[in-house]
Chain A
Amino acid sequence: MENSFWSYFFVIITFGLYIVIAVRSRANSTGDFYVAGHDVHPVVNGMATAADWMSAASFLSMAGLIAFLGYGGSVYLMGWTGGYVLLALLLAPFLREFGKFTVPDFVGDRYYSSFARIVAVVCAIFISFTYIAGQMKGVGVAFSAFLGVPSTIGILIGMIVVFFYAVLGGMKGITYTQVAQYCVLIFAYTVPAIFISIIITNNPIPQLGFISNMSGSDISMLTKLDNLLTDLGFLEYTQTSKSMIDTFCITAALMFGTAGLPHVIIRFFTVKSAHAARVSAGWALVFIALLYTVAPAVGSFARLNFINTVNDAQYDNNTSENSADIKMVPEWFKNWEQMGYVSFKDLNNDGIMQYRGPNAPDGLQNEVEVNRDIFVLANPEIAQLPDWVAGLVVAGGLAAALSTAAGLLMVISSAVSHDLCRKTLFKNIDDKSELFVARLSAAGAVFAAGLLGIYASQLGFVAQVVAFAFGLAASSLFPVIFLGIFWKRMNKEGAIVSMLVGLVSTFSYIVYFKFLGGTQDQWFLGVSPEGIGFVFMWLALISGILVSSLTKEPPDEIKELVEKIRISRRT
């Protein structure tokens, strides 16, 4: 593609920057490696958390999902931000006050049990690997779509860069590269959005453009979109086909899942105090909200632009009847068609592209198929923005994918080196050997993640397994951590049963409906696999409480530990 110069330019500059930062922030102790020495400023940590959190899915896929789902896309917007309120109020400050390195660390100590620690390790590793496959696939997509590099080689390049800062610098290196990656990704996301907002609504702030009138008209952008979609036989943009209970449960599963995701929780171990953890969660959400409030604007603008430029355009531009008043197929359509992101099948042989929904009033069949990811990737081209903007989007997508991958790798490597080796198998290894094992397991995790990305991109099942990560985090990790802080009486037996109940129930539900051919009419209470984590979270909470009540109380020193972490020490 012509604009690949700018793509190469931005990708090489940003990758170089990440490596420079990595070399400058080497870790010297396990404290540096796991939690960046507990010494990261709350605002800096907030920014790093935002990059850690916003993945290839947030950057590349979310706006496209919203563009297609309209109101239905709200579950992602509320779910992936509302979780931070739970994190700030219920978990982060208490876990920071507890003051150790990993999530299984808390579970193991609070429930005085190596077995509970191992179950938590299994949950954390499982969640992180399902999540990381999607990031690596995102890296492959960005490389192949823009740089003409095969997806597998793209993933290998991504692995080498992550290897540098994750293995050398651990959490310390990751923190400062994530700050840089946040700046790259937010710039890359908002610049095209501002351009498009001005074009469509004359308002440079996308959040306001979203609720403004179309430029040069007194009809609001959303009403215009609703009318266009109804005319073409789609559902109105502001409506959804999902049931209310399903919308409710998916939103809740994403919120509680967000709060229980280990790679997000460990970011709050890197600040100085419990109070800093609270403030930092606030800043994290500010930085996240910058992208998340722009995304619905991008989604609606993109859908509008897509319909206006593609629908009823003439596909073949070599016909003799070419004249000024015939709408021609846009250039980008043919470019992306070659890569398989859009396709046109002329069902009624009239040479015109009819884009229609299932209930088109004019009775015409839909002839245009679209991959949702195109709405962010090709948005700059669809809106005819300058070439460098598209290059920026590639660098942003890679930043989003790599920053999240690094955070997940940290969870995997610290679970292996700290929780498995130091705390369970070889209790008397010294700090230096533990640091070596940590680097080794980080390297191993990078390698495994790359393989998973290559393998998964051939299978194309990444979107489905993401439901795993959130459902499992909500139903297995969130309940034990929450009860561990808010209910002193919760004991080892209750914790183990609760984690296993959450893990097994959610896992089997998702596998049954996603991979073994379960059908919608069999859904439990009408809840889809994406939302089931919320239902089984209650099952895990209740079974944990029941089993604890029937077995013996936790020892006194554990109750004292809980008392202690409920109060934040002044520093």
Chain B
Amino acid sequence: MKKNYWNASLRLTLGLLSIWFLVSFGAGILFRDFLDKYNIGGAPLGFWFAQQGSIYIFVILIFYYCFAIRRIEEKYKDEV
């Protein structure tokens, strides 16, 4: 019975973790040579993601999760 709620919350978690992976391991490590061709201010973009950008996005991810999981709880509240 509680399956729909749990599946929706798993989908949300997976989605957010893909972004988590992309901005840190992706932009900051794996694709950084490519991104370093571009600049943000005076910093190469990949380097900036590794030392600044990923951290800002981590913060946004957690607050978005708090908001979105509440919406899922609301949607399936009869079930849970």
CB-CB nearest in chain A for B25 = A248
Within 8 A of A (CB), among B56-80: 56, 58-59, 61-63, 65-66, 69-70, 73, 80
Residues of B contacting A281 in the complex (Cβ-Cβ under 8 angstroms):
62
Query: Taking the nearest CB of chain A, how far is it from the CB of B37, in angstroms?
Result: 13
Q: Which among B16, B24, B54 is the interface contact of A89 at CB below 8 angstroms?
A: B16
A375: Cβ under 8 A from any B Cβ: no
Residues of B contacting A278 in the complex (Cβ-Cβ under 8 angstroms):
62, 65-66, 69
A213: Cβ under 8 A from any B Cβ: yes
Distance A547 CA – B70 CA, assembled complex (angstroms):
36
Within 8 A of B (CB), among A64-92: 66, 71, 73-74, 77-78, 81-82, 84-86, 88-90
Q: Which of B5, B59, B62, B70 has the most CB of A within 10 A?
A: B62
Binary per-residue interface labels of chain B (14-43) against chain A in the complex, 1 for a CB within 8 Å, 0 otherwise: 001100100011001110000010001111
Q: In the bound complex, do residue A88 and residue B41 qualify as a contact, i.e. CB atoms below 8 Å apart?
A: no
Q: In the bound complex, do residue A244 and residue B29 qualify as a contact, i.e. CB atoms below 8 Å apart?
A: yes
Q: In the bound complex, do residue B36 and residue A238 qualify as a contact, i.e. CB atoms below 8 Å apart?
A: yes
Q: In the bound complex, do residue B29 and residue A251 qualify as a contact, i.e. CB atoms below 8 Å apart?
A: yes
Q: In the bound complex, do residue A220 and residue B42 qualify as a contact, i.e. CB atoms below 8 Å apart?
A: yes
Q: In the bound complex, do residue A293 and residue B48 qualify as a contact, i.e. CB atoms below 8 Å apart?
A: no
Distance A563 CA – B52 CA, assembled complex (angstroms):
38
Number of interface residues of A (CB under 8 A): 47
A149: Cβ under 8 A from any B Cβ: no
Residues of B contacting A222 in the complex (Cβ-Cβ under 8 angstroms):
42-44, 47
Residues of B contacting A90 in the complex (Cβ-Cβ under 8 angstroms):
13
A223: Cβ under 8 A from any B Cβ: yes
Known: A222-B43, A238-B44, A244-B30. A566 touches B58 (CB 8 A): no
Number of interface residues of B (CB under 8 A): 38
The stretch among A204-212, A347-355, A376-384, A521-529 that forms the contact with chain B is A204-212
Q: Which among A85, A210, A282 is the interface contact of B43 at CB below 8 angstroms?
A: A210
Query: Taking the nearest CB of chain A, how far is it from the CB of B29, in angstroms?
Result: 5
Residues of B contacting A418 in the complex (Cβ-Cβ under 8 angstroms):
none
Residues of A contacting B54 in the complex (Cβ-Cβ under 8 angstroms):
77-78, 81-82
Distance A570 CA – B36 CA, assembled complex (angstroms):
46
Q: In the bound complex, do residue B43 and residue A211 qualify as a contact, i.e. CB atoms below 8 Å apart?
A: yes
Residues of B contacting A567 in the complex (Cβ-Cβ under 8 angstroms):
2, 5, 73, 80
Residues of B contacting A292 in the complex (Cβ-Cβ under 8 angstroms):
55
Q: In the bound complex, do residue B41 and residue A220 qualify as a contact, i.e. CB atoms below 8 Å apart?
A: yes
Q: In the bound complex, do residue A78 and residue B50 qualify as a contact, i.e. CB atoms below 8 Å apart?
A: yes
Residues of A contacting B41 in the complex (Cβ-Cβ under 8 angstroms):
208, 211-212, 220
Q: In the bound complex, do residue A82 and residue B20 qualify as a contact, i.e. CB atoms below 8 Å apart?
A: yes
Q: Which among B20, B44, B51 is the interface contact of A74 at CB below 8 angstroms?
A: B51
Residues of A contacting B43 in the complex (Cβ-Cβ under 8 angstroms):
210-211, 220, 222, 238
Known: A220-B41, A251-B29. A285 touches B59 (CB 8 A): yes
CB-CB nearest in chain A for B57 = A85
Distance A78 CA – B55 CA, assembled complex (angstroms):
7
Q: Which among A71, A84, A210 is the interface contact of B50 at CB below 8 angstroms?
A: A71
Q: In the bound complex, do residue B29 and residue A248 qualify as a contact, i.e. CB atoms below 8 Å apart?
A: yes
Distance A88 CA – B9 CA, assembled complex (angstroms):
13
Residues of B contacting A220 in the complex (Cβ-Cβ under 8 angstroms):
41-43
Known: A222-B42, A247-B29, A566-B2. A211 touches B58 (CB 8 A): no
Distance A563 CA – B3 CA, assembled complex (angstroms):
10
Q: Which among B13, B47, B63 is the interface contact of A71 at CB below 8 angstroms?
A: B47
Binary per-residue interface labels of chain A (268-287) against chain B in the complex, 1 for a CB within 8 Å, 0 otherwise: 00000001001101100110
Distance A316 CA – B22 CA, assembled complex (angstroms):
53
Q: Which of A73, A85, A247, A570 has the most CB of B within 10 A?
A: A85
Q: Which among A82, A210, A212, A221 is the interface contact of B58 at CB below 8 angstroms?
A: A82
Q: Which among A81, A89, A248, A568 is the interface contact of B55 at CB below 8 angstroms?
A: A81
Residues of A contacting B56 in the complex (Cβ-Cβ under 8 angstroms):
289, 293
A257: Cβ under 8 A from any B Cβ: no
Distance A66 CA – B41 CA, assembled complex (angstroms):
20
Residues of A contacting B80 in the complex (Cβ-Cβ under 8 angstroms):
567
Distance A238 CA – B6 CA, assembled complex (angstroms):
43
Residues of B contacting A223 in the complex (Cβ-Cβ under 8 angstroms):
42
Q: In the bound complex, do residue B30 and residue A85 qualify as a contact, i.e. CB atoms below 8 Å apart?
A: no
Known: A82-B20, A567-B80. A77 touches B29 (CB 8 A): no
A170: Cβ under 8 A from any B Cβ: no
Distance A279 CA – B65 CA, assembled complex (angstroms):
9
CB-CB nearest in chain B for A42 = B66
Q: In the bound complex, do residue B42 and residue A81 qualify as a contact, i.e. CB atoms below 8 Å apart?
A: no
Distance A501 CA – B17 CA, assembled complex (angstroms):
26
Q: Which among B6, B36, B55 is the interface contact of A566 at CB below 8 angstroms?
A: B6
A296: Cβ under 8 A from any B Cβ: yes
Binary per-residue interface labels of chain A (559-571) against chain B in the complex, 1 for a CB within 8 Å, 0 otherwise: 0000100111010
CB-CB nearest in chain A for B20 = A85
Distance A528 CA – B55 CA, assembled complex (angstroms):
24
Distance A285 CA – B56 CA, assembled complex (angstroms):
9
Q: Which among A77, A82, A244, A247 is the interface contact of B51 at CB below 8 angstroms?
A: A77
Distance A88 CA – B12 CA, assembled complex (angstroms):
13
A252: Cβ under 8 A from any B Cβ: yes
15 examples of A-B residue contacts, CB within 8 angstroms: A77-B51, A77-B54, A78-B50, A81-B54, A81-B58, A88-B65, A90-B13, A211-B52, A220-B42, A222-B44, A255-B24, A275-B66, A281-B62, A286-B59, A567-B5
8 interchain residue pairs of minimum CB distance: A220-B42, A211-B41, A74-B50, A282-B62, A296-B51, A211-B43, A88-B62, A78-B24
Q: Which residues of B approach A to under 8 Å, CB–CB?
A: 2, 5-6, 9, 13, 16-17, 20, 24-25, 28-30, 36, 40-44, 47-48, 50-52, 54-56, 58-59, 61-63, 65-66, 69-70, 73, 80
